[in-house]
């Protein structure tokens, strides 16, 4: 049971954080999902995990509204006419963002901002636009107080994109996350280098392999929340995960893992996700009542269930303990990990997911990047922090191999030496090579910067220090980042570049 009085009296939580926590506590007094005993057992062992999504789903976890439609048509419900100039556009977006629900209660997707803004720039000088963008972006940073919020750029080289990058470098905000969709056939080297240069100052934007991700759905895609590749005009009903190392700990040996534990966990979680989707779609009334649905900004048939896995590395290392082989270093370990991935992939390609036509009624695999309470559990399919291969080439080849079977988001993060600022073209070479081999998504930050990527979201080191001293901090994600920074020993992340 949540300590509700504790929430009410907390001096560490802001008012807004209290309200959200109290709402979740209220939701969790309900018991509306049917959960079989076996599933309950695996939840208790934390071999599967519902990521505290709440006991009674009343909105999809992630929503990616069709902002282009909104810009073209306005909104009757919000009483907004289609914007005619830049001020009207930014104002209209600020209003709509306030009304996009999600698991965090904040919008997790803000749109492909450069493309949305580009048609409204004629007649303004760069300085005029930058001033407006700063006000807009600061409003977002100070009111969307949760960094599981994402804006996209690219793949085209636009004036809007360049100006957003320039402004981002000056602002040093943690929200939103930015991702640049990169495709060497479309994106110019100049703007790609500007993006990478920018990331060396403010840990934004991350770079997405547009070529490999663009055909994930029949609709256009966006990158939302913590690197999730999702359909525009839809999103994800739910995300739950198999905690692979905890499953491995329940197995007597490798055969027991593959024959019994893993299949049981996979099935238990898949059924649980269907149960959540069933309640959300059939009982919650969300899709019947939301103005986003009524006005065609989202569609029920564009939502999917994200099937998360976490800790492939640690799971492999547990199963290989007797042989002493390590994920990311030994062929036998990597081959075993590959076998685990294919087992999961095969299961998902057979198992029917409810109400998910956009993914052919299947759940889609996601490399979940971890939670603040994870200890000894490495994000998704990454190599454990501190155990990265000496040569970055080996690291990236490994990433490419394990990104392959994951369609709804997987990523790697690299801390870079400050000198890389002087040579963004070198970083672009690395990105080009990595994407060519099949790496789907890559993020960089500068080793000494205040903004640090935890598992995907950004947190300021200075805010972590404040929070540790018991002070209130603006962003919820600092609460998650502070323990995560320590638990995952992020200060040990291998720094790349010479």
Partner 1 sequence: MIKAPVRKIIPHSLVDGPGNRTAIFLQGCNIRCAYCHNPETQEMCTESSPTEEIKWMTAEEVFKEVERDIPFIRGITVSGGECTLYPEFLVELFTLGQKAGLSCLIDSNGTIDLSKYPELIEVCSGVMLDVKAWDNEKFNKLTGGNNRNVLKNLKFLSDLDKLEEIRIVCIPDEVDAEDILKGIKSTIGEKISYTNLKLIKFRNHGVIGRLKEAESPSDEYMNYLKELALELGFKKVKIT
Q: Give, in order, the Cα–Cα distances in Å from 355 to each of 274, 275, 371.
A: 9, 11, 27
Question: Closest Cα partner for 14 from 408, 478, 491?
Answer: 478
Closer residue to partner 1 (CB): 29 or 425: 425
Q: Are residues 136 and 169 in contact, defined by beta-carbon separation less than 8 angstroms?
A: no
Helix axes 126-143, 159-171, angle to 10 degrees: 50
State in angstroms the smallest separation of the CB of 290 from partner 1: 46
* Per CB under 8 A, 200 contacts partner 1: no
Question: CB-based burial of residue 453 (10 Å sphere; 0-12 exposed, 13-18 middle, 19+ buried)?
Answer: buried
Strand pairing category for 48-49 and 234-243: antiparallel
Contact segment (CB under 8 A) with partner 1 among 110-118, 257-265, 342-350, 419-427 equals 419-427
* Per CB under 8 A, 491 contacts partner 1: no
Closer residue to partner 1 (CB): 207 or 341: 207
State in angstroms the smallest separation of the CB of 191 from partner 1: 17
Place of tokens 């986003």: 292
Q: Which position among 2, 40, 349, 425 is part of the footprint of partner 1 (CB under 8 A)? A: 425
State in angstroms the smallest separation of the CB of 406 from partner 1: 22
Place of tokens 């306030």: 98
Cα atoms found within 13 Å of the Cα of residue 353, Cβ hemisphere only: 29
Residues in binding contact with partner 1, number by CB under 8 A: 24
* Per CB under 8 A, 434 contacts partner 1: yes
Element housing 110 (H / E): strand 109-112
Closer residue to partner 1 (CB): 188 or 391: 391
* Per CB under 8 A, 360 contacts partner 1: no
Q: State phi, psi for 365 to the nearest 5 degrees.
A: -75, 140
| DSSP label of 494 | P
Contact segment (CB under 8 A) with partner 1 among 132-140, 210-218, 227-235, 393-401 equals 393-401
* Per CB under 8 A, 393 contacts partner 1: yes
State in angstroms the smallest separation of the CB of 381 from partner 1: 20
* Per CB under 8 A, 188 contacts partner 1: no
Question: Closest Cα partner for 326 from 339, 340, 312?
Answer: 312
Within a 10 A sphere around the Cβ of 32, how many other Cβ atoms?
Answer: 12
Q: Which position among 27, 394, 447, 450 is part of the footprint of partner 1 (CB under 8 A)? A: 394
* Per CB under 8 A, 422 contacts partner 1: yes
Which residues inside 284-313 make contact with partner 1, applying CB under 8 A? none
State in angstroms the smallest separation of the CB of 392 from partner 1: 5
**Contact characters 25-64, partner 1, x per CB under 8 A:** ----------------------------------------
Terminal CA-to-CA distance of the chain, rounded, Å?
51
Q: Is 306 helix (H, G, I), strand (E, B) or coil?
A: strand
Q: Are residues 482 and 467 in contact, defined by beta-carbon separation less than 8 angstroms?
A: yes
Q: Which position among 323, 436, 465, 471 is part of the footprint of partner 1 (CB under 8 A)? A: 436
What is the spatial distance between Cα 188 and Cα 124, in angstroms, rounded to a whole number? 24
Helix axes 424-437, 189-202, angle to 10 degrees: 110
* Per CB under 8 A, 268 contacts partner 1: no
* Per CB under 8 A, 420 contacts partner 1: yes
* Per CB under 8 A, 1 contacts partner 1: no
Q: Indicate the Cα dihedral angle 38, 43, 45, 46, nearest 10°.
A: 150
Closer residue to partner 1 (CB): 280 or 420: 420
Contact segment (CB under 8 A) with partner 1 among 99-107, 429-437, 456-464, 465-473 equals 429-437
Q: Give, in order, the Cα–Cα distances in Å from 60 to each of 110, 192, 280, 369, 453.
A: 16, 33, 7, 20, 25
| DSSP label of 59 | S
Q: Are residues 453 and 443 in contact, defined by beta-carbon separation less than 8 angstroms?
A: yes
* Per CB under 8 A, 417 contacts partner 1: yes
Q: Which position among 108, 358, 415, 430 is part of the footprint of partner 1 (CB under 8 A)? A: 430
Contact segment (CB under 8 A) with partner 1 among 6-14, 205-213, 357-365, 390-398 equals 390-398
Q: Which position among 46, 423, 472, 487 is part of the footprint of partner 1 (CB under 8 A)? A: 423
State in angstroms the smallest separation of the CB of 432 from partner 1: 7
State in angstroms the smallest separation of the CB of 434 from partner 1: 7
Q: State phi, psi for 23 to the nearest 5 degrees.
A: -65, -40
State in angstroms the smallest separation of the CB of 379 from partner 1: 22
DSSP characters over 393-431: HHHHHHHHHHHTT--S---EEEEE-GGGGG-HHHHHHHH
Strand pairing category for 48-49 and 62-64: unpaired
Contact segment (CB under 8 A) with partner 1 among 133-141, 179-187, 301-309, 421-429 equals 421-429
State in angstroms the smallest separation of the CB of 99 from partner 1: 44
* Per CB under 8 A, 432 contacts partner 1: yes
State in angstroms the smallest separation of the CB of 211 from partner 1: 15
* Per CB under 8 A, 212 contacts partner 1: no
Give the footprint of partner 1 on this chain (CB under 8 A).
Answer: 391-394, 396, 417, 419-420, 422-423, 425-430, 432-434, 436-437, 496-498
């Amino acid at each position: 049971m949540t300590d509700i009085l504790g929430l009410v009296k907390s001096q560490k939580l802001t008012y807004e954080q209290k309200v959200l926590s109290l709402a979740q506590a209220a939701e969790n007094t309900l018991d509306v999902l049917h959960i079989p005993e076996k599933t309950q057992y695996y939840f208790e062992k934390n071999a599967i995990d519902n990521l505290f999504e709440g006991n009674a789903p009343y909105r999809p976890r992630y929503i990616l509204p069709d902002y282009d439609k909104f810009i073209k048509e306005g909104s009757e419900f919000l009483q907004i006419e289609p914007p005619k100039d830049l001020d009207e556009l930014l104002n209209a977006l600020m209003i709509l963002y306030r009304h996009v629900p999600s698991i965090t209660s904040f919008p997790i997707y803000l749109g492909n901002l450069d493309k949305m803004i580009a048609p409204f720039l004629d007649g303004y000088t760069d300085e005029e636009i930058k001033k407006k963008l700063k006000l807009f972006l600061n409003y977002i940073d100070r009111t969307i107080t949760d960094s599981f919020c994402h804006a996209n750029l690219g793949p085209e080289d636009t004036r809007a994109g360049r100006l957003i990058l320039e402004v981002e470098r000056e602002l040093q905000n943690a929200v939103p996350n930015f991702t640049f969709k990169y495709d060497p056939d479309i994106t110019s080297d100049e703007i790609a280098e500007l993006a990478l240069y920018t990331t060396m100052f403010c840990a934004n934007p991350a770079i997405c392999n547009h070529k490999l991700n663009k055909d994930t759905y029949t609709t256009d895609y966006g990158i939302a929340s913590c690197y999730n590749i999702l359909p525009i005009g839809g999103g994800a009903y739910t995300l739950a995960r198999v905690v692979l190392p905890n499953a491995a700990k329940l197995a007597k040996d490798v055969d027991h893992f593959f024959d019994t534990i893993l299949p049981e966990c996979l099935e238990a979680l898949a059924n649980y996700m269907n149960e959540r989707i069933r309640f959300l779609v059939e009982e919650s009334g969300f899709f019947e009542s939301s103005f986003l649905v009524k006005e065609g900004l989202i569609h029920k048939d564009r939502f999917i269930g994200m099937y998360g896995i976490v800790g492939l590395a640690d799971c492999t290392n547990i199963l290989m303990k007797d042989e002493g082989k390590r994920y990311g270093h030994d062929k036998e370990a990597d081959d075993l990990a590959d076998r685990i991935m294919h087992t999961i992939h095969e299961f998902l390609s057979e198992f029917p997911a409810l109400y998910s036509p956009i993914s052919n009624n299947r759940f889609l695999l996601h490399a979940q990047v971890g939670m603040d309470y994870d200890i000894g559990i490495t994000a998704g399919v990454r190599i454990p922090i501190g155990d990265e291969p000496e040569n970055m080439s080996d690291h990236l080849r490994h990433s490419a191999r394990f990104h392959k079977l994951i369609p709804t988001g997987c990523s790697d993060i690299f801390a870079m030496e400050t000198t890389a600022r002087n040579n963004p073209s070198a970083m672009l070479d690395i990105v080009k090579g990595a994407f060519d081999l099949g790496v789907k998504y890559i993020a960089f930050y500068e080793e000494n910067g205040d903004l640090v990527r935890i598992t995907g979201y950004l947190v300021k080191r200075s805010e972590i220090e404040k929070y540790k001293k018991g002070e209130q901090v603006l962003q919820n994600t600092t609460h998650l980042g502070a323990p995560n920074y320590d638990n995952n020993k992020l200060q040990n992340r291998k720094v790349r570049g010479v």
